[in-house]
Amino acid sequence: MSDPKWDDLRVFLAVAREETLSAAGKTLKLDPATVGRRVARLETDLDAALFLKSPQGYVLTPAGQRLLDKATTVETAMLDLSGDVTDRAGALTGQIRLGAPDGAANYLLPQVCSKICADNPGLEVQLVALPRVFNLSKREADMAVTVSPPATGRLTVQKLSDYKLHLAASTSYLRSMPPLQSLQDLKAHKIIGYISDLIFDKELDYLSEIGSPKVDFASNSVSVQINWARGGAGVVIAHDFALPNAPELQKVLSDQMSLTRSFYLVRHADDRKIARLTRFAEELATHLPREIARLEART
């Protein structure tokens, strides 16, 4: 039995994470038949069955689970080797993929990441905006900004910053509707919010703070909600840091309703050893709170 090569371990990791040959092949840019042959070859080399085929796809055997732990450690080392920590001038280089909910990804992180990249010309940042929880164990991203700290998994969590949200509506909408003088008056207004069964984190259930009124316009996207409000559709609970990008909107009932939430940076525990990712995390922890403070001051 020979030690598995890194190229074989990459195939194994992709199948373990994606659970089908076709999905693993898409990740690896290989056809599914080739992926299947590579897995079979690895099982022969190791003299062990690594997967069981089930109706749900490929499921790890006990031997496969043991190899997964070792392969993840090797992957971490290879990621560290493949991305130089710094260039000769001491700047960050290489590629980093950052996941984030779409509110932060649309209104906050572009300028934060641009600042970091301006200071580090050899750095490439990929910003993945998805209205759901990221699976770091499947390497969907190198790290993720979240709205609550995860309770399970081999992850490290760092609080980045608090941020505020308020009710807001367009001037044109407010002129055409009954006066808004108290939270009770919201009953006579159109409400914009999340699709209830697509709220992926309890921290996003903002409307429960005002009695869970009926939602007239719903989306799982923050930017869609804000654009609805900009067009005069109704009242929305908006991030203060997004309001400078929506000049049509003004806060309403801010003395009666104000929410505070937090952003967290989540990383795979093994990635603490990758200096490039740690350095980027430090930059993010410095610049993101400053940008939130700058934008909130404008509202």
For the chain, 299 residues long, the average pLDDT of each consecutive 10-residue run is: 76 86 88 91 90 87 87 72 49 86 95 95 89 64 91 87 98 95 95 93 92 93 97 97 97 96 90 82 96 95
Instruction: Judge whether 90 and 84 are in contact, CB under 8 Å.
Output: no
How would DSSP label each residue in 190-218? -EEE--GGG--SGGG-GGGGGT-PPPSEE
Task: Name the one residue in this structure whose structure tokens are 């020979």.
Answer: 2
Q: How far apart are CA 142 and CA 76, in angstroms?
A: 11
Q: Is residue 149 helix, strand or coil?
A: coil
What is residue 54's predicted lDDT score, i.e. its pLDDT? 82
What is residue 17's predicted lDDT score, i.e. its pLDDT? 81
Please determine whether the domains at 93-161+262-297 and 163-260 fall in the same fold group of CATH. Answer: yes
Domains in the chain: boundaries: 6-82, 93-161+262-297, 163-260
How would DSSP label each residue in 2-56? PPPPHHHHHHHHHHHHH-SHHHHHHHHT--HHHHHHHHHHHHHHHTS--EEEETT
Helices 275-297 + 109-119 axis angle, to 10: 130
Instruction: Judge whether 280 and 272 are in contact, CB under 8 Å.
Output: no
| CA atoms lying within 13 Å on the CB side of residue 293 | 7
Q: How far apart are CA 244 and CA 268, in angstroms?
A: 34
Residue 71 main-chain phi, psi, to 5 deg: -65, -35
Taking the whole predicted model, whether its pTM rises above 0.85 is answered as no
What is residue 264's predicted lDDT score, i.e. its pLDDT? 96
Q: Is residue 226 helix, strand or coil?
A: helix
Q: How far apart are CA 33 and CA 243, in angstroms?
A: 50
Residue 17 token pair: 């994470």
Q: Which fold has domain 6-82?
A: Arc Repressor Mutant, subunit A (1.10.10)
Domain 93-161+262-297 bears CATH identifier 3.40.190.10:
yes
Domain 163-260 - what CATH class? alpha beta
What is residue 138's predicted lDDT score, i.e. its pLDDT? 64
What is residue 154's predicted lDDT score, i.e. its pLDDT? 80
